[in-house]
Amino acid sequence: MTALTVIVVNWNTQALLRRCLWSAQAAIAEVLPDDAQILVVDNASTDGSAAMVAAEFPDVDLLACATNLGFAAANNRAIQASKSQWLLLLNSDAEIGGDALRRLVECGAQQQRAAIVGCRLGNPDGSFQAAGNAFPSPASTIGEAWGIMPWLTQNPYYPSDPPWRASASGVRDWIGGACLLVRRAAIDEVGLLDERFFMNAEEMDWCYRMAQRGWQAWYVADAAVVHVGGASADRRTARQRMRLYEGKCRFVEKHYGRMAGGIVRLNFRVASLVKAGAYSLAYLVTRRECLSVLAASHWPAAWTRKWA
């Protein structure tokens, strides 16, 4: 059994995947040179990603899927195929350094109830992107639909902790899935990622289930990872917006009940209808193309019967 398996799920991000694997190999060579592996799960990419991995990274294990399984299911396939004590779930649009990997591993070793260890995410220009998060409630999810939570919490980075609260390591409710170190023993007890979450909120649900069993999610402030964000899914598109909403609604329904989930789902539809109308009207007045794009991303969320 190896100490660590780095799992990278990819869908049409060949150039970013190459940089991700370079960073992972360098970090492993520095921290665990003889006791780690890298496993790439390619979700039926059409940009030659799988061929690139096979040709340029012969030491990386490749699992090529015939269809796009989604983030949760693809990670589960890799978790089941590996036998290591720790799994590092790393987005294909993220780059990890040796210092970050070492700090994550050290935290996991020191905190025996740490099921998940996450890090500070930064943008490619070095600016702050995200840190730890608090679990949402039905009320906060309703507020998110209208974009008022950053105002109510005085936190423009909501739902993430803002930079001024992200400088201290410690237990958080949940941590974004761009770079997560996960303990095998906790997975064995709690279970794999819920594959009903295709791409959004699956890590939040995982952390919630871990917490219910007494496990912890630890945030390591001095472990920083560069994350492009949205490389596999442009959040301005209607499809990705509906996936995002579906994940949030599914989380509320699963943990707060069907009635709460239904209310949250209806609220997202109403908010999308209002926003689509407002953006369309603003476009007619200003002729700014970006407003037309935003309107087009909201209309389907209002009237499409099933988002997922």
For the four alpha carbons of 257, 258, 260 and 261, in that order, the dihedral sign comes to: positive
Task: Report pLDDT for 229.
Answer: 75
Q: Percent of the chain having pLDDT more than 90?
A: 91
Mean pLDDT computed over 197-207? 92
Domain limits, the chain: 4-131+166-227, 238-303
Residue 125: the pLDDT is: 93
User: What pLDDT, on a 0 to 100 scale, did the predictor assign at position 212?
Assistant: 97
Question: Is residue 120 over pLDDT 60?
Answer: yes
Cα separation of 283 and 249, whole Å?
29
Q: Is the pLDDT of residue 250 over 60?
A: yes
Which CATH fold topology does 4-131+166-227 show? Spore Coat Polysaccharide Biosynthesis Protein SpsA; Chain A (3.90.550)
Whether the CB-CB separation of 65 and 9 falls below 8 Å is answered with: no
Q: Quick one: angle between helices 289-303 and 258-286, nearest 10? A: 150
pLDDT over 70 (residue 130): yes
Residue type present at position 245: Y
What tokens appear for 43 in the block? 């979700």
**Cβ-Cβ contacts under 8 Å for 283 (sequence gap 6 or more):** 289, 291, 292, 295
SS3 299: helix
Confidence of residue 199 (pLDDT cuts 50, 70, 90): confident
pTM: 0.93
State which amino acid sits at residue 112. Answer: Q
Among 8, 119, 24, residue whose Cα is nearest residue 62: 8
**What pLDDT shows up at residue 2?**
83
With beta carbons less than 8 A apart as the criterion, state whether 217 and 171 touch.
Answer: yes
Q: What is the pLDDT of residue 224?
A: 93
